[in-house]
Amino acid sequence: MRTNEQDKAKLAEQDHEGMTMTTDQPTISENPIDLARFSLSACDRVRIEMPPLSDVTEDDIDAQLFAYVANAPKDSPIKTLGDLDDAWVKANLPMYESIGEVRNAIRASLTKETTVAFDEIRYAKCAEALIERLEGDIPVAVIEAHAETVRARTEEAARAQGVSLARYLEDAHMTSEQYEASLLDEARREIALNIALDKMVEVTATTVPNAELTEYLACEDPARFLEELRESGKVEQARKAAARVKVMRRVIETAEVETEGDES
């Protein structure tokens, strides 16, 4: 299960190539939001602090390789990392020619994981910066209605992993009361981010023509996706979602970033 700190219910899900969004994600509730009741305290680039991006070290790679040592059978000659030589690689990892290739592959994988995690943190911090700029009160009924959507999504994710709600709460160190409060907090945050993005779309007059919708919305078959949108009458809903993604990408790309602990 993802936690709030990992931004488990992001407005837009990110992949390694950039931000994507599903067309149904922006639907907060059946209660419409009057954007005229809200404003932004600022519309310039956001300012965030990020942890330093750590390089993958040889120790990190060794830690990954040690799993082969730890899981080796008792009668195996593999007792230390030094025993993982080219001969072992050819016998056990035939897709590689040498231990050097294996180390390089691990380095590439860890670097990718680190970069993705770093991008997720950047997204979350930019999102919070936008939410802090939002001025206006979200109706309680809207928050409560969306909290049920958050509940369904959270509990479905738990079931998909074979975890009961009780086990989920135990692992998250939450009481049932804390869980209920977290649903409301997450619902409020998601709604606030959507509204902030909609206000940014207004201020920046951001538009997304039909031909560009699939640049911002996740789909496997762009042509079929657009056809389904037209058939279901959801083109404008998709355009609204795409505009949010387009603005959020711009917010992330233009953010002023300071490194945590950097006094220079």
> Which pLDDT tens digit goes with each residue over 44-103?
999 999 999 889 999 999 999 999 999 999 889 999 999 999 999 999 999 999 999 999
Of residues 218, 198, 216, the one with CA closest to residue 206? 198
Identify the pLDDT of residue 10: 39
Question: What's residue 15's pLDDT?
Answer: 34
Most distant CA pair in the chain: distance in Å? 72
Determine the pLDDT at residue 260. 83
Domain with CATH 1.10.3120 in the chain: 8-27+134-257
Mean model confidence pLDDT for the chain: 87
Cα 67 from Cα 90, distance rounded (Å): 17
Judge residue 107's burial from the number of C-beta atoms within 10 Å of its C-beta, 0-12 exposed, 13-18 middle, 19 or more buried: middle
Exposure b/e, 142-179, CB count within 10 A at least 16 = b: bbebbbebbbeebeeebeeeebeeeebbeeeeeeeeee
Nearest Cα residue to 13 out of 29, 31, 25, 5: 25
pTM of the entire structure? 0.78
Q: Is the pLDDT of residue 6 over 70?
A: no
CA dihedral defined by 220, 222, 227, 232, rounded to 10 degrees?
A: 60
The percent of residues above 90 in pLDDT, for the chain, comes to 81
Determine contact, residues 245/12, Cβ cutoff 8 Å: yes
* Token pair 């994988």 in the structure block, residue: 109
Architecture of domain 8-27+134-257: Orthogonal Bundle (1.10)
**3-class DSSP state for residue 39?**
strand
